[in-house]
Structure 1
């Protein structure tokens, strides 16, 4: 019963792992691709840092006077240059051997010869490399140098086999590797990498993968060998035609090679092939170009031969893609040009419409301004008309009051004369008729009534009138006085009576008196004398009606 219950759980776990593991692999691949892109773009900066370290190391080597310390510095330079620039590595290896010869140190001389043999074979100088190796007697070597002897022969055979594509030298390289494995400690990193390489050569991929995965977990980017470990894993998956996994491991290898500035690398070329298989021509061209440049800079002959065989294929694909892109670009330019022409025509049409609209707006604005002006004039006319109507109404009402009052006074005068006549008081009648008091009183009453009516219509007239005069010439009225003669003359002008003859008749003055008053007041004006009477006609706020 317990077994039956455990079965669904086990199947679910297996199903979960089947679904989840590919997701993890895809996430790892994406993350690695991103890191590779960042490191690749920082390639020049990383190399510059290495160059600066080499400059310091070379300066120390040139300044060092102690032979033993100079030997150590020369070895550091050899190791720094051997995967970066072979010609410089050869130069410092030769100096290293000369120092050994000066110190009669056969160990240093033999070690330098092993270094030189490997470097010569990597540059295609196989005769020189072979002469060096044959000049070394294995029996005379100390035990510490025997592994280096087999390592040099392994490298020589491998390089020559790659350059000549001679299977016999690959087999010879395997025999030297077997001899090397017999001498190396089985726990050393060099031993395990050599063993995994041997397994790969003999198609024992499961055992090789187990070793390489273990080494990859135990190493990080501090180890220069990490690039080779990842490359061998990528090569194994490439042989299985698993391009995704091959790309992932080649990417790890390239990251390590770039960080350690290893120009003698196979990772970039292999990455280019993988991306070319995926159809990503841009990246394929980018990596193969970098691989070609690295091989040329490092002067590794067999790398240049390998790269040249793939460069043509990838470059052709890249050129075809560029031609396709240019054709597409040309077509897009034609379409854009046509669209631009339509856009220019549309803009021209829009511009003409905007000009018409602007012209219509200007005309409308002018019409509105003219209409506003007419409205203002109409409002002014209406105001003047209303004012005139109000003045007429005011004066008609006062006229009827005065006429009624005059009728009453005439009637009283008639009754008084009739009474005097009845009493035969002819002298009194004659006296009344000859008296000017009545006329004088009536004139005063007339002026007073005019003043009252006018100030009732224009209560601010006196104040506004004084504002037009200089401050020292302003009019001050006596107590009880509403208007004086000067103000009364200009009050009539305010009402529209500008003719001096009419003003003289109304006020019962001579024409010269009116003229003199008008001239006298104009001489007191603060502003323009010519505009004075025009301003008089506009002053005085009419009482609200």
Structure 2
């Protein structure tokens, strides 16, 4: 019987040429090895980003625009929420510089982030506000290619017979406008020309253009990935699947080496392998693609992976079951040829029948359990979506309040002549800071996978950065941060953020009069279990002699004591030397109260 096995295996692989199969396996082996090293490439990426953060911090006292632009480019294909944050900061810096070119280009970058996260409407709304007349030729070409991508993605997403042709036509017009602006010898001209050729079904011309680009020396890893992935689309359309697989593997390798998370090469490669029956590799690559999409934060990519990942895993299970059934069949055939073992065969058959009966019972129970789990997951997803929507709406409402306060502040600033007007203007500005502190909470919850927990290190850094920018601190006032890796419930994060806001405003306004230099330091540590301590110190002039913070009726001190009581914490304010504000509170007690 064993003599027939080599012949059967030969029949199974006879349809695949050996050299092509070997080359495919070699590319897939390289990709698997690269996936194992992906953490190292991501760590190198983070080192580069940290270097940019330090450089940007050094520029912050002057013009932060170029630093924010560099950080946006670093995050653009790596992490969506960070890219969005720096796109917003880029817009703010551009407006502060009153440079219309910068404002227009910042709008292009924000549109890229929104499109990459699958927010088509928001991307269109942002890009339509860009003043094209302010953009130089290459930046205008970048805008046109981004608009073309918007319409192409929208057409591919809808796949209907009415709107998709219109979207494709609009995208083609935008690409034509971009090609006029790019130099004929540039990589961008060659790539977008090939993309136009693909969409107009000139596949041979597109393949030639892309092969020429891929052979150019000096391409970045990102350019290699984009070019190889696009060229694979040509070969897929020409039904040359093996070549497409090689190119997609090459693209996925380049994406990993450049730590590009906003990519689809691994997804399309897994889809092709799944169709060819290579479930093992398909499962490995789709999981890598899903991890990258989740890390980047792209809703569109997550939806794509949600449609294919269950199929691949189901097929993987089916293959295991199929192999098990083949082994059972082989055992039955051997038993038939061994007449002396008829009695043993009968026992085996009875056991197999019993096993199948038990499996049917288990299957029915498992099916019922899976239905309940799916219903539970749907309810959880719906709850999380509703909470995110609430955070989004609250953030938008707070932004409206900020806009109203801005308008009132501008009006008072233009008319301020008396001390009362200046006092009113200062009160409005402090109210703006309080509203912004609360808006940052809801923004982070909306962008985060969690709906009720706030990562305090990043939140505190953003609050401090916002206040430092708002008060335009001189270089002689230095700021120090020492924050543990702590997550807090939103019911605790809001009052704590407002306490930080009030403390820092007092320090910035009163601690260093007359341009005096000094240092402000903020620390937030876990003392034990769920007990935390917030400490804010400065080496400024300190509190006036005889001033008792506990009896002060100023709004700032009233808020500090009120929010401290809300947290159930112990607040202490000491001076001199300088001023030291310390708050100790316990999370567990407050969570029980709010629950």
TM range (shorter): 0.5 to 0.7
Separation (CA, whole Å) in 2 of partners of 1:318 and 1:72 = 49
Q: Aligned to 2:208, which of 207, 210, 218?
A: 210
Separation (CA, whole Å) in 2 of partners of 1:98 and 1:54 = 21
Question: 2:223 aligns to what?
Answer: 225
TM-score by length of 1: 0.53
More displaced stretch, 202-211 vs 39-48:
39-48
Separation (CA, whole Å) in 2 of partners of 1:130 and 1:109 = 17
> What secondary structure, in the 3-state scheme, does the structure 1 residue paired with 2:52 have?
helix
Question: 1:61 aligns to what?
Answer: 56
Separation (CA, whole Å) in 1 of partners of 2:271 and 2:137 = 42
Q: Aligned to 2:146, which of 134, 137, 152?
A: 152
- The Cα of 1:28 is off from its aligned counterpart by 4.8
Separation (CA, whole Å) in 2 of partners of 1:46 and 1:330 = 46
Tell me: CA distance 1:315–1:194, structure 2 relative to 1, closer, same or farther (3 Å): same
Question: 1:364 aligns to what?
Answer: none
2:86 equivalent to 1:88 = no
Q: Assess if the C-alpha contact under 8 Å between 1:205 and 1:236 holds in 2.
A: yes
- The Cα of 1:161 is off from its aligned counterpart by 2.6
- The Cα of 1:210 is off from its aligned counterpart by 0.8
- The CA deviation string for residues 307-335 of structure 1, in whole angstroms up to 9 with x for no partner, is 23322322221232344567789999xxx
More displaced stretch, 22-31 vs 200-209:
22-31
2:45 equivalent to 1:47 = no
Tell me: CA distance 1:209–1:35, structure 2 relative to 1, closer, same or farther (3 Å): same
Separation (CA, whole Å) in 1 of partners of 2:169 and 2:214 = 27
Q: Aligned to 1:169, which of 167, 170, 195?
A: 167
Q: Assess if the C-alpha contact under 8 Å between 1:93 and 1:115 holds in 2.
A: yes
Separation (CA, whole Å) in 1 of partners of 2:143 and 2:156 = 20
Question: 2:28 aligns to what?
Answer: 33
2:314 equivalent to 1:316 = yes
Tell me: CA distance 1:63–1:324, structure 2 relative to 1, closer, same or farther (3 Å): farther
- The Cα of 1:224 is off from its aligned counterpart by 1.3
Q: Assess if the C-alpha contact under 8 Å between 2:105 and 2:135 holds in 1.
A: no
Question: 1:75 aligns to what?
Answer: 69
- The Cα of 1:38 is off from its aligned counterpart by 1.4
Question: 1:258 aligns to what?
Answer: 256
The equivalences for 1:436-515 within 5 A come to none
> What secondary structure, in the 3-state scheme, does the structure 1 residue paired with 2:141 have?
helix
Separation (CA, whole Å) in 1 of partners of 2:74 and 2:229 = 21
2:325 equivalent to 1:305 = no
Separation (CA, whole Å) in 1 of partners of 2:226 and 2:250 = 10
Q: Assess if the C-alpha contact under 8 Å between 1:121 and 1:160 holds in 2.
A: no
Question: 1:130 aligns to what?
Answer: 124
Separation (CA, whole Å) in 2 of partners of 1:213 and 1:193 = 10
Tell me: CA distance 1:105–1:287, structure 2 relative to 1, closer, same or farther (3 Å): same
| TM-align CA RMSD | 3.0
Question: 1:268 aligns to what?
Answer: 266
Tell me: CA distance 1:144–1:268, structure 2 relative to 1, closer, same or farther (3 Å): closer
- The CA deviation string for residues 165-208 of structure 1, in whole angstroms up to 9 with x for no partner, is 34122221121111111111111101100011111111111111
Q: Assess if the C-alpha contact under 8 Å between 2:138 and 2:182 holds in 1.
A: no
Q: Assess if the C-alpha contact under 8 Å between 2:137 and 2:181 holds in 1.
A: no
TM-score by length of 2: 0.49
- The Cα of 1:84 is off from its aligned counterpart by 1.2
Tell me: CA distance 1:150–1:221, structure 2 relative to 1, closer, same or farther (3 Å): closer
Separation (CA, whole Å) in 1 of partners of 2:99 and 2:52 = 23
Separation (CA, whole Å) in 1 of partners of 2:51 and 2:232 = 36
Q: Aligned to 1:121, which of 115, 118, 122?
A: 115
Q: Could you say which structure has the higher helix fraction?
A: 1
Tell me: CA distance 1:47–1:144, structure 2 relative to 1, closer, same or farther (3 Å): closer
Q: Assess if the C-alpha contact under 8 Å between 2:182 and 2:189 holds in 1.
A: yes
- The Cα of 1:277 is off from its aligned counterpart by 2.5
2:296 equivalent to 1:295 = no
Tell me: CA distance 1:112–1:210, structure 2 relative to 1, closer, same or farther (3 Å): same
> What secondary structure, in the 3-state scheme, does the structure 2 residue paired with 1:262 have?
coil
> What secondary structure, in the 3-state scheme, does the structure 2 residue paired with 1:67 have?
coil
Question: 1:347 aligns to what?
Answer: none
Q: Assess if the C-alpha contact under 8 Å between 2:72 and 2:86 holds in 1.
A: yes
- The Cα of 1:42 is off from its aligned counterpart by 0.9
Separation (CA, whole Å) in 1 of partners of 2:41 and 2:329 = 42
More displaced stretch, 292-301 vs 244-253:
292-301
Separation (CA, whole Å) in 2 of partners of 1:109 and 1:303 = 29
- The CA deviation string for residues 6-62 of structure 1, in whole angstroms up to 9 with x for no partner, is xxxxxxxxxxxxxxxx88766654443332221121112211221232233223323
Q: Where do 5+ consecutive residues of structure 2 fail to align?
A: 1-16, 331-595
Tell me: CA distance 1:111–1:140, structure 2 relative to 1, closer, same or farther (3 Å): closer
Report which of the two structures shows the higher radius of gyration computed on alpha carbons. Answer: 1
- The Cα of 1:252 is off from its aligned counterpart by 0.8
Q: Assess if the C-alpha contact under 8 Å between 1:117 and 1:156 holds in 2.
A: no
- The Cα of 1:303 is off from its aligned counterpart by 2.2
- The Cα of 1:115 is off from its aligned counterpart by 0.8
Separation (CA, whole Å) in 2 of partners of 1:325 and 1:181 = 54
Q: Aligned to 2:242, which of 234, 240, 244?
A: 244
Separation (CA, whole Å) in 2 of partners of 1:42 and 1:51 = 15
